[in-house]
Amino acid sequence: MHAALQHEPLTRSGEDYLKAIYRLSPAGRTASTSEIAHRLELSPASVSGMVKRLSEQGLLEHVPYKGVQLTADGRRAALRMLRRHRLIEAYLVAFLGYTWDTVHEEAERLEHAVSDKLVERMAAVLGNPAVDPHGDPIPTPEGDIHEPASIPLSEVPAGARVEIRRVEEGQPERLRYIASVGLRPGVHIRVLDRQPFQGPITIEVAGRTHVIGNELGQVVRCASEQE
Amino acid sequence: MHAALQHEPLTRSGEDYLKAIYRLSPAGRTASTSEIAHRLELSPASVSGMVKRLSEQGLLEHVPYKGVQLTADGRRAALRMLRRHRLIEAYLVAFLGYTWDTVHEEAERLEHAVSDKLVERMAAVLGNPAVDPHGDPIPTPEGDIHEPASIPLSEVPAGARVEIRRVEEGQPERLRYIASVGLRPGVHIRVLDRQPFQGPITIEVAGRTHVIGNELGQVVRCASEQE
DNA sequence: ACTCGGAGTTAGGATTGCCTAAACGTGGGG
DNA sequence: CCCCACGTTTAGGCAATCCTAACTCCGAGT
Ligand SMILES: [Mn+2]
Ligand SMILES: [Mn+2]
Ligand SMILES: [Mn+2]
Ligand SMILES: [Mn+2]
C-alpha cells in the first residue's frame, strides 16, 4: 500500500541533507533552514533550493518560513545512510587500524559509494554490532533504530556513578582529548563534583581523578549503571 | 624541478577519463575521442569537452582531430587510480567474500571515495600484493608499474604449456564462465589444438579437456611456464 | 497595533558534466 | 587531385549544486 512511487536515486548531496535533517529533528520536531545550512557548511540560500527539490521528491515536508520534517520515505533514506556511516566506522576501526577520531571523515565519503551488498558484508564480519565506535546506535537494514535514553555528563548529579554511552563525533581533536581522559563508550565513571553556572566537572575514571569543562560534558552522554 | 604546479583536485569523471585513456594508449600511443567515448559509454561530444578541460589542467596532450596522450602528471594520476581500483578488488575478494566477477563494479565507485590512507591500510593487511584478482599488476604508491609480457591464449601455438596470467575484467558473466572452465591467474594449462580463422581452442585444464571460442581466448593472457 | 531585525526565500550567476544537432577537418578512394 | 564519409569539434541546452545580493516574511518588543 505504500512505497509504490519509487524515487529517483538520491545524489550524494541529497543523502547528506537527509542525514543532517534527521539529526536536527528528533521526535517529530522541525529543522530550520539555517540549522541545516550551519551543519552542512552551506549558505541558507543553497539549503532553500535543495529543500524544495527534496520536497518535490516526497522526502521532506516543508512549510515555508517554518521548517522542515522528514516524510516516512525521507526518514527511511536517512536511516539507511546512518546505517552505512556507522557500520563503515565500526569496520574501519575493527579491521583497518582506524581510531575513533579519524573514522568519521572517511565514512562521510564512503557512505555514498558502498553498495548495500558491501554494507551487509561488513555488518556480517563485524557480527552485526549494535553501536559504532562513538556509541551511536546502528539502524537495522529494515530501518529501525533503538536510541537508548542517555543524559549529558554535564547533567549528571555529583556523587552518581554512570556508564559512558555515546560521544559526539565530528571533532577529531576533541575526541582525542576525550579518549586521553579515558572516556569511551562502556566505561564506568563517578561524578565527584559539578560546579554551577556551566562550571567544571570533576570525575573519577579508572581510579584517577580528572576535571573537565562543561562543554565537553555536553558531548559525552551517559546512563545509570543498572541495565 | 617538476610538480610545482599543483592541479586542482580531480573530479570523479576526470579520474575515470584518465584511467580510460591510460588503458587505451599503451607505450606512448594515442587515444581517439571515439575510443574514449565508447569505453566510458558517453557521446564523443562530451569527451571532446572533457578532454579540453583536462588538457587545460596539464593532464593531457591533445592534438585536435588527432588524438590524446597522458602527460607525466596525467599518467601519475591514472596509475594512482589503477592502484586504488586493483587494491580495492583484491581486498574485497580477500576479506569480504567477493568473487572476481563482482568486484569490478564495486571498485569502480569506491576508487573515487577512499583516502590514500585507507588504500595503504588495505595494501598492508593484504601484504602488498603484486596483482589483483584478475591478474592485473598493481602500481606502487610511487606510480611505478611492471607489466609482465603476456600473450592472448588465442595466440598460443598448439602443444604449448602455459600459465594463465591475466583475464580481462568488466564482463561479469564472461568471468563466471571463464572461472567455470578453471582458467584463473596462476593456473597451468596445455593448448591441445587451435583451429585457424578464429576457430575454437582446445585446452587441458587440471586434467580435463575444454573447447573455448576464440573471443574468450583473446581476453585470457598467458606466459610460458618458466618463471 | 507597528515596526524592525533576523530568518528565509527568490533572483541571478558560475561551474561541472552530460546531451543532440550542426559544422568542420582529414585522409583514402575514385 | 578532388570530394565525400566519417570522426571530431563546436554550438546550444539542460540539470544539479553551489554562491551572493536583494527581497520578503514573521514575530518580539514597544
Ligand atoms: Mn556524506
Ligand atoms: Mn559515529
Ligand atoms: Mn570509477
Ligand atoms: Mn581488476
Q: How many CA atoms lie within 13 A of B190 on its CB side?
A: 7
| Adjacency order of strands within the sheet including B208-212 | B151-152, B220-224, B161-167, B188-194, B201-205, B208-212
Q: What is the mean pLDDT of residues A85-111?
A: 98
**How far is Cα A32 from Cα A27, in angstroms, rounded to an integer?**
15
Q: Is the pLDDT of residue A222 over 60?
A: yes
Interchain contact, B113 vs A115, CB within 8 Å: no
Going from the Cα of A90 to the center of ligand 2, the distance in angstroms, rounded, reads: 8
A9 at B interface, C-beta within 8 A: no
> Does B9 contact A at CB distance below 8 Å?
no
* B75 in Cβ contact with B25 (< 8 Å): no
A110 CA distance to ligand 1 middle (Å): 7
Which positions in chain A touch B115 (Cβ < 8 Å)?
A: 105-106, 109
CA of B160 to the centre of ligand 2 (A): 57
> Mind listing the pLDDT tens digit for each residue in A195-207?
998 899 999 999 9
pLDDT tens digits along A29-75 = 999 999 999 999 999 999 999 999 999 999 999 999 999 999 999 99
Bridge partner residues of B98 (DSSP): none
The type of residue at A5 is L
CB within 8 Å: A109 and B113: yes
Domain segments of chain A as ranges? 12-70, 150-223
Q: Where are the beta strands (DSSP E) in A116-187?
A: 151-152, 161-167
Closest CA to A220 of A199, A177, A197: A177
- Select the CATH number that applies to the domain covering A150-223 from these four: 1.10.40.60, 3.30.70.360, 3.30.420.40, 2.30.30.90: 2.30.30.90
- For chain A, what is the mean pLDDT? 94
Q: What is the distance between the alpha carbons of residues A203 and A211, in angstroms, rounded to a whole number?
A: 6
CB contact under 8 A, B97 and A122: no
Residue-wise pLDDT tens for chain B (227 aa)? 444 456 789 999 999 999 999 999 988 899 999 999 999 999 999 999 999 999 999 999 999 999 999 999 999 999 999 999 999 999 999 999 999 999 999 999 999 999 999 999 999 999 999 999 999 999 999 999 999 999 999 999 999 999 999 999 989 999 999 999 999 999 999 999 999 988 999 999 999 999 999 999 999 999 986 64
Return the percentage of chain A with pLDDT > 70, whole number: 96
Selected residue of A95, A111, A116 to mutate for chain B interface (largest B Cβ count, 10 A):
A95
CA quadruple B123, B124, B125, B131: dihedral sign: positive
Give the model's confidence band at A4: pLDDT under 50 very low, under 70 low, under 90 confident, else very high. Answer: very low
**Looking at beta carbons, which residues of chain B come within 8 Å of A122?**
96
pTM: 0.94
Selecting from A106, A114, A122 the residue whose C-beta is nearest the C-beta of B118 gives A106
Helix (H) or strand (E) holding B17: helix B12-24
Suggest the residue from B89, B120, B121, B126 to mutate for an interface test with chain A (most A CBs closer than 10 A): B121
**pLDDT given for residue A170 in this prediction:** 87
Listed as ranges, the nucleotides of chain C within 7 A of a protein C-beta are 7-12, 16-22, 25-26
CA distances from B84 to A204, B34, B48, B96 (A): 46, 26, 26, 17
Residue type, position B216, single letter = L
Q: What is the pLDDT of residue B27?
A: 84
Q: Any residues with CB less than 8 A from the CB of B74 and at least 6 apart, and which?
A: B18, B21, B54, B58, B59, B60
CATH of A12-70, one of 1.10.10.10, 3.20.20.80, 1.10.10.350, 3.10.450.50: 1.10.10.10
Q: For residue A53, what pLDDT is reported?
A: 97
Q: What pLDDT is stored for residue A201 in this prediction? A: 96
Res. A226: pLDDT tops 90: no
Kindly state the cell numbers that stand for A118. Answer: 558491501
What's the pLDDT at B1?
Answer: 40
